[in-house]
Amino acid sequence: MLREANLMQQLDNPYIVRMIGICEVENLMLVMELADLGPLNKYLSVKNITELVHQVSMGMKYLEGNNFVHRDLAARNVLLVTQHYAKISDFGLSKALTEEENYYKSKGHGKWPVKWYAPECMNYLKFSSKSDVWSFGVLMWEAYSLGQKPYKGMKGNEVMQMIDSGKRMDPPVNCPPEMYELMKKCWTFK
């Protein structure tokens, strides 16, 4: 938790949840900016999806520009301040990258959100802003499906086989074609 707090105190962007401080009562807690409406996947309507997804992209652009890899970008980790204002949260898996290296290499598998991870994360334990782009594509799919779970009914190894075979999720119902094309670009294998 202290590592997450140390990382979060470095971030200053209107599309990233702000850490206010650390509190120790019974145990250590992070005090975060309030986002009244909760996670993105619980509160979506057709009229505000593109606006909210764009805000997430701006927050992710900021993270990339400051050499941070989120590693857990998903609709559940984007909080809504209002119906028209989204902020990225949950930096527990995030890593600050060095100037010399543009990726983070994990020492082993953990309890990872496989359905949001790019192939290089699972195959080579490598995380970069490029793997965050893959996760952003999955977040877009979640948003345009109005909060459905990606790869519904599939296990992690089935998802990996599907991706390795070149297949991708079908477009959500009523998803604008240009947004689905953008998702597919996010899911480019190389």
- Give catalytic status of residue 72 as yes or no: yes
Residues 74-109 have pLDDT tens digits of 999 999 998 899 999 988 788 878 777 787 888 776
Q: Where are the alpha helices (DSSP H) in 66-127?
A: 119-124
Amino acid 37: pLDDT: 85
Q: Which of 12, 36, 72, 90 is catalytic?
A: 72
pLDDT, mean of residues 155-163: 92
Q: Is 80 exceeded by the pLDDT of residue 172?
A: yes
Question: 122: pLDDT confidence band, cut at 50, 70 and 90?
Answer: confident
Query: Domain 35-186's class?
Result: mainly alpha
